[in-house]
Structure 1
Amino acid sequence: MSNPPPDDVEAELKPTATPGYNPGGSKSPEELAALDQEDESLARWKASLGIVPGTSATPAGPKLHVLTLELASSTLPSGKTISMDINNPQEMAAIKKNPIVIKEGVEYNVRMNFRVSGSIIPGVRYIQLVKRSGIKVDKFEKMLGSYGPRDEQYTVDFEPDDSPSGIIARTGTYNVVSRVVDDDGEIHANWEWQFKIGKEWA
Protein backbone atom coordinates (compact mmCIF):
# COMPACT_ATOMS: atom_id res chain seq x y z
CA MET A 1 0.00 0.00 0.00
CA SER A 2 2.95 2.31 0.67
CA ASN A 3 6.63 2.30 1.43
CA PRO A 4 7.60 1.78 5.09
CA PRO A 5 7.62 5.07 7.01
CA PRO A 6 10.98 6.52 8.15
CA ASP A 7 12.35 5.51 11.55
CA ASP A 8 11.13 8.65 13.38
CA VAL A 9 7.58 8.11 12.10
CA GLU A 10 7.84 4.39 12.88
CA ALA A 11 8.61 5.20 16.52
CA GLU A 12 5.60 7.54 16.73
CA LEU A 13 3.30 4.89 15.27
CA LYS A 14 3.99 2.37 18.02
CA PRO A 15 0.79 1.46 19.91
CA THR A 16 0.39 2.79 23.42
CA ALA A 17 1.36 0.14 25.98
CA THR A 18 -1.12 -0.55 28.78
CA PRO A 19 0.73 -1.08 32.10
CA GLY A 20 0.26 -4.62 33.42
CA TYR A 21 -1.46 -5.84 30.25
CA ASN A 22 -0.08 -9.00 28.71
CA PRO A 23 -1.84 -10.08 25.49
CA GLY A 24 -0.43 -13.60 25.85
CA GLY A 25 0.23 -16.01 23.04
CA SER A 26 -2.18 -16.46 20.18
CA LYS A 27 -4.50 -19.46 20.16
CA SER A 28 -6.29 -21.17 17.32
CA PRO A 29 -10.11 -20.92 17.09
CA GLU A 30 -10.32 -24.60 18.05
CA GLU A 31 -8.29 -23.98 21.24
CA LEU A 32 -10.39 -20.93 22.11
CA ALA A 33 -13.64 -22.79 21.52
CA ALA A 34 -12.58 -25.42 24.06
CA LEU A 35 -11.95 -22.86 26.83
CA ASP A 36 -14.57 -22.19 29.54
CA GLN A 37 -17.38 -23.95 27.67
CA GLU A 38 -19.66 -23.75 30.73
CA ASP A 39 -19.68 -19.92 30.63
CA GLU A 40 -22.77 -19.06 28.53
CA SER A 41 -22.04 -15.35 28.09
CA LEU A 42 -18.47 -16.12 27.03
CA ALA A 43 -19.78 -18.77 24.63
CA ARG A 44 -22.09 -16.19 23.02
CA TRP A 45 -19.22 -13.72 22.66
CA LYS A 46 -16.98 -16.39 21.10
CA ALA A 47 -19.79 -17.38 18.72
CA SER A 48 -20.02 -13.73 17.57
CA LEU A 49 -16.38 -14.06 16.53
CA GLY A 50 -17.05 -17.31 14.71
CA ILE A 51 -15.43 -19.39 17.46
CA VAL A 52 -17.45 -22.58 17.85
CA PRO A 53 -16.46 -26.18 18.61
CA GLY A 54 -15.00 -27.82 15.51
CA THR A 55 -13.56 -24.54 14.21
CA SER A 56 -10.04 -24.61 12.85
CA ALA A 57 -7.78 -21.99 11.34
CA THR A 58 -6.99 -21.98 7.66
CA PRO A 59 -3.34 -22.60 6.69
CA ALA A 60 -2.96 -18.98 5.58
CA GLY A 61 -3.27 -17.75 9.19
CA PRO A 62 -5.09 -14.63 10.39
CA LYS A 63 -5.50 -11.79 7.92
CA LEU A 64 -7.20 -8.42 8.24
CA HIS A 65 -7.79 -6.71 4.91
CA VAL A 66 -8.78 -3.04 5.08
CA LEU A 67 -11.17 -2.19 2.25
CA THR A 68 -11.96 1.50 2.66
CA LEU A 69 -11.60 4.38 5.09
CA GLU A 70 -14.51 6.83 5.02
CA LEU A 71 -15.31 10.27 6.36
CA ALA A 72 -18.96 10.84 7.19
CA SER A 73 -20.70 14.05 8.25
CA SER A 74 -24.27 15.33 8.31
CA THR A 75 -22.89 18.52 6.73
CA LEU A 76 -21.76 16.72 3.56
CA PRO A 77 -23.99 17.37 0.52
CA SER A 78 -26.88 14.87 0.33
CA GLY A 79 -25.46 12.92 3.28
CA LYS A 80 -22.69 11.46 1.13
CA THR A 81 -19.45 10.07 2.51
CA ILE A 82 -15.87 10.61 1.37
CA SER A 83 -14.38 7.19 0.75
CA MET A 84 -10.84 6.14 -0.06
CA ASP A 85 -10.00 2.71 -1.42
CA ILE A 86 -6.56 2.23 0.09
CA ASN A 87 -5.90 -0.73 -2.24
CA ASN A 88 -6.27 1.39 -5.38
CA PRO A 89 -2.87 2.93 -6.26
CA GLN A 90 -4.40 5.33 -8.79
CA GLU A 91 -6.92 6.63 -6.27
CA MET A 92 -4.28 7.09 -3.56
CA ALA A 93 -1.98 8.86 -6.03
CA ALA A 94 -4.86 11.19 -6.94
CA ILE A 95 -5.41 12.02 -3.26
CA LYS A 96 -1.71 12.84 -2.91
CA LYS A 97 -1.96 15.21 -5.87
CA ASN A 98 -5.35 16.65 -4.87
CA PRO A 99 -5.82 16.16 -1.11
CA ILE A 100 -9.23 15.51 0.41
CA VAL A 101 -10.84 18.78 1.55
CA ILE A 102 -12.61 18.71 4.92
CA LYS A 103 -14.90 21.60 5.83
CA GLU A 104 -13.71 23.56 8.83
CA GLY A 105 -15.54 23.54 12.16
CA VAL A 106 -17.90 20.62 11.47
CA GLU A 107 -18.60 17.37 13.24
CA TYR A 108 -17.51 14.26 11.33
CA ASN A 109 -16.58 10.69 12.03
CA VAL A 110 -14.28 8.12 10.50
CA ARG A 111 -15.55 4.70 9.39
CA MET A 112 -13.40 1.72 8.48
CA ASN A 113 -14.55 -1.28 6.41
CA PHE A 114 -12.50 -4.47 6.54
CA ARG A 115 -12.60 -8.24 6.24
CA VAL A 116 -11.02 -10.90 8.44
CA SER A 117 -10.00 -14.40 7.36
CA GLY A 118 -7.97 -17.28 8.73
CA SER A 119 -8.30 -16.91 12.49
CA ILE A 120 -9.19 -14.53 15.32
CA ILE A 121 -7.22 -11.28 15.37
CA PRO A 122 -6.84 -9.99 18.94
CA GLY A 123 -6.84 -6.35 19.97
CA VAL A 124 -7.09 -4.61 16.61
CA ARG A 125 -6.04 -0.95 16.80
CA TYR A 126 -6.20 1.93 14.35
CA ILE A 127 -3.37 4.46 14.69
CA GLN A 128 -3.19 7.74 12.79
CA LEU A 129 -0.28 10.18 12.79
CA VAL A 130 -0.88 13.64 11.30
CA LYS A 131 1.89 16.06 10.31
CA ARG A 132 1.93 19.42 8.57
CA SER A 133 5.16 20.80 7.11
CA GLY A 134 6.94 17.91 8.81
CA ILE A 135 5.67 18.86 12.29
CA LYS A 136 3.43 16.51 14.25
CA VAL A 137 0.03 18.07 14.90
CA ASP A 138 -1.97 15.04 16.07
CA LYS A 139 -1.82 11.36 16.91
CA PHE A 140 -5.01 9.34 17.18
CA GLU A 141 -5.26 5.78 18.45
CA LYS A 142 -8.41 3.69 18.76
CA MET A 143 -8.84 0.17 20.08
CA LEU A 144 -11.33 -1.56 17.77
CA GLY A 145 -11.50 -4.92 19.55
CA SER A 146 -10.99 -8.54 18.49
CA TYR A 147 -12.45 -10.00 15.30
CA GLY A 148 -13.01 -13.48 13.95
CA PRO A 149 -13.09 -14.64 10.33
CA ARG A 150 -16.33 -14.33 8.37
CA ASP A 151 -17.51 -13.79 4.80
CA GLU A 152 -19.21 -10.45 5.48
CA GLN A 153 -17.19 -7.29 5.94
CA TYR A 154 -16.92 -5.50 9.27
CA THR A 155 -17.79 -1.80 9.53
CA VAL A 156 -16.55 0.17 12.53
CA ASP A 157 -17.63 3.76 13.20
CA PHE A 158 -15.26 5.89 15.26
CA GLU A 159 -16.49 8.47 17.75
CA PRO A 160 -17.46 11.86 16.24
CA ASP A 161 -14.83 14.60 16.21
CA ASP A 162 -14.75 18.27 15.17
CA SER A 163 -12.56 19.52 12.34
CA PRO A 164 -10.31 22.50 13.17
CA SER A 165 -11.17 25.97 11.93
CA GLY A 166 -9.51 29.30 11.28
CA ILE A 167 -6.97 30.66 8.83
CA ILE A 168 -4.08 28.77 10.42
CA ALA A 169 -5.93 25.44 10.15
CA ARG A 170 -6.69 26.18 6.49
CA THR A 171 -3.01 26.73 5.69
CA GLY A 172 -1.05 23.90 4.12
CA THR A 173 -1.58 20.19 3.56
CA TYR A 174 -1.88 17.62 6.33
CA ASN A 175 0.03 14.39 5.71
CA VAL A 176 -1.39 11.30 7.40
CA VAL A 177 0.08 7.87 8.06
CA SER A 178 -2.59 5.33 9.04
CA ARG A 179 -1.87 1.91 10.47
CA VAL A 180 -3.87 -1.11 11.63
CA VAL A 181 -2.03 -3.32 14.11
CA ASP A 182 -3.00 -6.05 16.58
CA ASP A 183 -1.97 -7.12 20.09
CA ASP A 184 0.60 -9.52 18.65
CA GLY A 185 2.38 -6.63 16.92
CA GLU A 186 1.25 -7.71 13.45
CA ILE A 187 0.81 -4.76 11.08
CA HIS A 188 -2.18 -5.52 8.87
CA ALA A 189 -2.32 -2.25 6.93
CA ASN A 190 -0.15 0.82 6.55
CA TRP A 191 -0.94 3.68 4.15
CA GLU A 192 -0.46 7.41 3.61
CA TRP A 193 -2.99 10.04 2.57
CA GLN A 194 -3.43 13.79 2.57
CA PHE A 195 -6.13 16.32 3.42
CA LYS A 196 -6.70 20.05 3.66
CA ILE A 197 -9.08 22.14 5.74
CA GLY A 198 -11.34 24.42 3.67
CA LYS A 199 -14.26 26.78 4.11
CA GLU A 200 -16.48 24.24 2.32
CA TRP A 201 -16.39 20.56 1.44
CA ALA A 202 -14.80 19.96 -1.96
Structure 2
Amino acid sequence: MAETETKHHPEHHDEDVHDANYQAPPEKTIEEIMAADQEDESLRRYKEALLGAAQTEKIIVDPNDPRKVIVKKLALVVEGRDDMELDLTGDLSQLKKQLFVIKEGVQYKVRIDFIVQREIVHGLKYVQKTSRLGVTVDKMKHMVGSYPPKKEIQFYLTPAEEAPSGTLSRGTYSVHSVFTDDDKHIHLEWDWTFEIKKDWA
Protein backbone atom coordinates (compact mmCIF):
# COMPACT_ATOMS: atom_id res chain seq x y z
CA MET A 1 0.00 0.00 0.00
CA ALA A 2 1.44 3.37 -0.94
CA GLU A 3 2.79 5.43 1.92
CA THR A 4 0.68 8.42 1.02
CA GLU A 5 -2.53 6.52 1.70
CA THR A 6 -4.13 6.79 5.11
CA LYS A 7 -6.96 4.31 4.64
CA HIS A 8 -7.55 2.14 7.68
CA HIS A 9 -8.77 -1.41 7.94
CA PRO A 10 -12.40 -1.44 9.13
CA GLU A 11 -11.43 -3.54 12.17
CA HIS A 12 -9.12 -0.79 13.39
CA HIS A 13 -10.26 2.41 15.02
CA ASP A 14 -7.92 5.30 14.36
CA GLU A 15 -7.16 5.65 18.07
CA ASP A 16 -5.95 2.03 18.10
CA VAL A 17 -3.20 2.98 15.68
CA HIS A 18 -2.51 6.65 16.45
CA ASP A 19 -2.48 8.71 19.62
CA ALA A 20 -5.14 11.40 19.20
CA ASN A 21 -3.23 14.02 21.22
CA TYR A 22 0.17 13.41 19.66
CA GLN A 23 1.45 16.04 17.24
CA ALA A 24 4.22 14.74 14.97
CA PRO A 25 7.21 17.02 14.44
CA PRO A 26 7.56 18.49 10.92
CA GLU A 27 9.32 16.23 8.45
CA LYS A 28 12.86 17.24 7.56
CA THR A 29 15.00 16.15 4.66
CA ILE A 30 18.45 14.67 5.21
CA GLU A 31 19.94 17.92 3.92
CA GLU A 32 18.00 19.98 6.50
CA ILE A 33 19.03 17.65 9.32
CA MET A 34 22.70 17.82 8.37
CA ALA A 35 22.60 21.61 8.04
CA ALA A 36 21.19 22.12 11.56
CA ASP A 37 23.43 22.44 14.64
CA GLN A 38 26.68 22.50 12.66
CA GLU A 39 28.46 24.22 15.56
CA ASP A 40 27.83 21.22 17.83
CA GLU A 41 30.70 18.89 16.93
CA SER A 42 29.47 15.84 18.88
CA LEU A 43 25.94 16.16 17.43
CA ARG A 44 27.36 16.54 13.92
CA ARG A 45 29.44 13.35 14.33
CA TYR A 46 26.42 11.51 15.72
CA LYS A 47 24.29 12.47 12.72
CA GLU A 48 27.05 11.45 10.32
CA ALA A 49 27.28 8.04 11.99
CA LEU A 50 23.51 7.64 11.99
CA LEU A 51 22.97 8.62 8.38
CA GLY A 52 26.06 7.00 6.86
CA ALA A 53 25.94 6.91 3.07
CA ALA A 54 22.57 8.69 3.03
CA GLN A 55 24.37 12.02 3.58
CA THR A 56 26.12 11.93 0.21
CA GLU A 57 23.83 9.86 -1.99
CA LYS A 58 20.11 9.40 -2.43
CA ILE A 59 19.51 5.83 -1.33
CA ILE A 60 16.91 4.18 -3.55
CA VAL A 61 16.71 0.42 -3.27
CA ASP A 62 13.73 -0.03 -5.62
CA PRO A 63 13.32 2.85 -8.11
CA ASN A 64 9.92 1.47 -9.18
CA ASP A 65 8.56 1.72 -5.64
CA PRO A 66 7.75 5.30 -4.55
CA ARG A 67 7.38 4.38 -0.87
CA LYS A 68 9.87 5.35 1.80
CA VAL A 69 9.26 2.12 3.74
CA ILE A 70 9.04 -1.30 2.09
CA VAL A 71 7.96 -3.95 4.59
CA LYS A 72 9.51 -7.27 3.58
CA LYS A 73 8.79 -9.90 6.19
CA LEU A 74 7.18 -10.78 9.52
CA ALA A 75 8.75 -13.52 11.61
CA LEU A 76 7.76 -15.25 14.84
CA VAL A 77 10.95 -15.83 16.80
CA VAL A 78 11.08 -18.59 19.42
CA GLU A 79 14.39 -19.44 21.07
CA GLY A 80 15.72 -22.81 20.00
CA ARG A 81 13.49 -23.06 16.91
CA ASP A 82 13.72 -21.85 13.32
CA ASP A 83 11.94 -18.54 12.74
CA MET A 84 8.44 -18.85 11.26
CA GLU A 85 8.24 -16.28 8.46
CA LEU A 86 5.59 -14.52 6.39
CA ASP A 87 6.66 -12.97 3.08
CA LEU A 88 4.98 -9.55 2.94
CA THR A 89 6.04 -8.68 -0.61
CA GLY A 90 3.50 -10.79 -2.48
CA ASP A 91 -0.27 -11.27 -2.44
CA LEU A 92 -1.24 -10.28 1.11
CA SER A 93 -4.70 -11.83 0.76
CA GLN A 94 -3.06 -15.28 0.75
CA LEU A 95 -1.35 -14.85 4.13
CA LYS A 96 -4.36 -16.02 6.14
CA LYS A 97 -3.99 -19.44 4.51
CA GLN A 98 -0.50 -19.82 5.97
CA LEU A 99 -1.13 -20.99 9.53
CA PHE A 100 1.55 -20.60 12.21
CA VAL A 101 1.44 -23.19 14.99
CA ILE A 102 2.60 -21.96 18.40
CA LYS A 103 3.02 -24.17 21.43
CA GLU A 104 0.97 -22.89 24.35
CA GLY A 105 2.85 -20.94 27.02
CA VAL A 106 6.06 -20.36 25.01
CA GLN A 107 7.87 -17.04 24.90
CA TYR A 108 7.96 -15.54 21.42
CA LYS A 109 8.89 -12.28 19.71
CA VAL A 110 7.70 -10.69 16.48
CA ARG A 111 10.34 -9.44 14.05
CA ILE A 112 9.54 -7.03 11.22
CA ASP A 113 12.07 -6.74 8.37
CA PHE A 114 11.86 -3.57 6.28
CA ILE A 115 13.78 -1.29 3.95
CA VAL A 116 13.89 2.49 4.30
CA GLN A 117 14.71 4.40 1.11
CA ARG A 118 14.69 7.98 -0.21
CA GLU A 119 14.30 9.86 3.12
CA ILE A 120 14.43 9.36 6.88
CA VAL A 121 11.20 7.96 8.26
CA HIS A 122 10.07 9.22 11.66
CA GLY A 123 8.23 7.46 14.46
CA LEU A 124 7.56 4.07 12.93
CA LYS A 125 5.00 2.04 14.87
CA TYR A 126 3.93 -1.58 14.75
CA VAL A 127 0.32 -2.16 15.84
CA GLN A 128 -1.21 -5.61 16.17
CA LYS A 129 -4.76 -6.62 17.09
CA THR A 130 -5.51 -10.27 17.82
CA SER A 131 -9.05 -11.71 17.67
CA ARG A 132 -10.63 -15.06 18.30
CA LEU A 133 -14.11 -15.94 17.06
CA GLY A 134 -14.62 -12.29 16.17
CA VAL A 135 -13.75 -10.98 19.65
CA THR A 136 -10.61 -8.87 20.26
CA VAL A 137 -8.44 -10.64 22.83
CA ASP A 138 -5.24 -8.59 22.64
CA LYS A 139 -3.89 -5.30 21.30
CA MET A 140 -0.25 -4.28 21.15
CA LYS A 141 1.41 -1.10 19.96
CA HIS A 142 5.20 -0.91 19.68
CA MET A 143 7.18 2.25 18.98
CA VAL A 144 9.70 1.10 16.38
CA GLY A 145 11.53 4.44 16.06
CA SER A 146 13.04 6.66 13.37
CA TYR A 147 15.27 5.18 10.68
CA PRO A 148 17.58 6.58 7.98
CA PRO A 149 17.55 5.19 4.45
CA LYS A 150 19.89 2.22 3.99
CA LYS A 151 20.54 -0.27 1.24
CA GLU A 152 20.43 -3.09 3.80
CA ILE A 153 17.32 -4.54 5.39
CA GLN A 154 16.62 -3.10 8.84
CA PHE A 155 14.48 -4.82 11.45
CA TYR A 156 12.55 -4.36 14.66
CA LEU A 157 12.13 -7.08 17.28
CA THR A 158 9.29 -6.77 19.79
CA PRO A 159 9.78 -7.59 23.47
CA ALA A 160 8.95 -11.19 24.40
CA GLU A 161 5.29 -12.15 24.70
CA GLU A 162 3.91 -15.31 26.26
CA ALA A 163 1.52 -17.39 24.21
CA PRO A 164 -1.78 -18.21 25.97
CA SER A 165 -1.94 -21.60 27.66
CA GLY A 166 -4.64 -23.96 28.85
CA THR A 167 -7.39 -25.90 27.12
CA LEU A 168 -9.61 -22.85 26.57
CA SER A 169 -6.78 -20.90 24.95
CA ARG A 170 -6.08 -23.48 22.27
CA GLY A 171 -7.41 -22.76 18.80
CA THR A 172 -7.05 -20.38 15.89
CA TYR A 173 -6.47 -16.65 16.24
CA SER A 174 -6.78 -13.91 13.60
CA VAL A 175 -4.27 -11.05 13.62
CA HIS A 176 -4.49 -7.66 11.94
CA SER A 177 -1.12 -5.89 11.70
CA VAL A 178 -0.36 -2.29 10.73
CA PHE A 179 3.06 -0.73 10.12
CA THR A 180 2.59 3.02 10.32
CA ASP A 181 4.36 6.19 11.45
CA ASP A 182 3.95 9.53 13.22
CA ASP A 183 2.47 11.12 10.10
CA LYS A 184 -0.26 8.48 9.88
CA HIS A 185 1.16 6.96 6.72
CA ILE A 186 0.12 3.33 6.51
CA HIS A 187 3.19 1.63 5.08
CA LEU A 188 1.56 -1.79 5.15
CA GLU A 189 -1.35 -3.56 6.78
CA TRP A 190 -2.04 -7.25 6.58
CA ASP A 191 -4.00 -10.12 8.15
CA TRP A 192 -2.56 -13.43 9.27
CA THR A 193 -3.44 -16.36 11.53
CA PHE A 194 -1.85 -18.58 14.13
CA GLU A 195 -3.01 -21.58 16.10
CA ILE A 196 -2.22 -22.30 19.75
CA LYS A 197 -1.69 -26.03 20.30
CA LYS A 198 -0.66 -28.19 23.24
CA ASP A 199 2.57 -28.97 21.39
CA TRP A 200 4.34 -27.88 18.22
CA ALA A 201 3.05 -30.79 16.14
Q: Is the shorter-chain TM-score for this pair beyond 0.5, marking a shared fold?
A: yes
Read off the aligned partner of 1:181 and give its amino acid letter. T
Aligned partners of 2:156, 2:17: CA distance in 1, in Å?
21
- Tell me the TM-score normalised to structure 2 length: 0.83
In structure 2, the partner of 1:73 is 78
- The alpha carbon displacement at 1:155 in A equals 2.0
1:132-147 equivalence runs, <5 A: 132-147=132-147
- The alpha carbon displacement at 1:57 in A equals 8.1
Aligned partners of 2:104, 2:45: CA distance in 1, in Å?
43
Aligned partners of 2:169, 2:15: CA distance in 1, in Å?
22
- Tell me the TM-score normalised to structure 1 length: 0.83
Whether the 8 Å contact between 1:30 and 1:54 is mirrored in structure 2 is no
Aligned partners of 1:52, 1:132: CA distance in 2, in Å?
44
Aligned partners of 1:61, 1:87: CA distance in 2, in Å?
15
In structure 2, the partner of 1:42 is 43
Aligned partners of 1:170, 1:52: CA distance in 2, in Å?
47
In structure 2, the partner of 1:122 is 122
State the Cα RMSD in Å: 2.7
In structure 1, the partner of 2:101 is 101
In structure 1, the partner of 2:27 is 26
- The alpha carbon displacement at 1:53 in A equals 5.6
- The alpha carbon displacement at 1:81 in A equals 0.6
- Could you give the per-residue CA deviations for residues 85-139 of structure 1, whole angstroms, max 9, x where no partner exists? 012228x62x423521111111111111110001000011101011111111111
User: Taking structure 1 as reference, are residues 168 and 40 closer, same or farther at Cα in structure 2, changes over 3 Å only?
Assistant: farther
Whether the 8 Å contact between 1:34 and 1:53 is mirrored in structure 2 is no
Read off the aligned partner of 1:9 and give its amino acid letter. H
- Could you give the per-residue CA deviations for residues 132-163 of structure 1, whole angstroms, max 9, x where no partner exists? 11111111111111011111110222211111
Aligned partners of 1:62, 1:68: CA distance in 2, in Å?
16
Aligned partners of 1:177, 1:107: CA distance in 2, in Å?
20
Whether the 8 Å contact between 1:46 and 1:52 is mirrored in structure 2 is no
In structure 1, the partner of 2:4 is none
For structure 2, the 5+ residue unaligned runs are 2-6
- Could you give the per-residue CA deviations for residues 56-79 of structure 1, whole angstroms, max 9, x where no partner exists? 687987611111111111243xxx
Whether the 8 Å contact between 2:59 and 2:151 is mirrored in structure 1 is no
Give me the identity figure in percent.
39
Aligned partners of 1:61, 1:119: CA distance in 2, in Å?
11
For structure 1, the 5+ residue unaligned runs are none
In structure 2, the partner of 1:15 is 18
In structure 1, the partner of 2:9 is 5
- The alpha carbon displacement at 1:170 in A equals 0.2
User: Taking structure 1 as reference, are residues 145 and 118 closer, same or farther at Cα in structure 2, changes over 3 Å only?
Assistant: same
Matched, 1:177 2:176: yes
Read off the aligned partner of 1:74 and give its amino acid letter. E
**How many residue pairs get matched?**
192
